[in-house]
Amino acid sequence: MLKFNHFNFNVLNLERSITFYQEALGLTIVREKNAADGSFKLVFMGDGSSDFSLELTWLRDRSEPYNLGDLEYHLAFVTDEYDALYEKHKAMGAVCFENPAMGIYFIHDPDGYWIEIVPVK
């Protein structure tokens, strides 16, 4: 049997990304891994209710923004606090796309990754 474990986003500024995910989505750090030589750091963030985590990967020698292509992929969260989160994300300037017909919207993180916010149906 298989089950989802984690999804990875590579980030340029780890602390900025951690702060964003804590503030925007309420995620917390669940574990970390540091390379012995300091060349990378992995931070896994979770929602506190599932085993799934978001892995943020920081590479010491990376200085250029990542090429995210056409952003035809995204991470999605479901919430029972949709309206309050929408207002919070608007105030943060994080909302990058809205689809009222589908009842969803997207935010973007500091590196440009898109995150879909879906209301509980």
Q: Could you give the CA distance from residue 119 to residue 33 in angstroms, rounded to a whole number?
A: 33
First-last CA distance in the chain: 28
Q: How far is CA 13 from CA 18, 40, 52, 87, in A?
A: 9, 12, 23, 26
**Which residues are part of the catalytic machinery?**
116
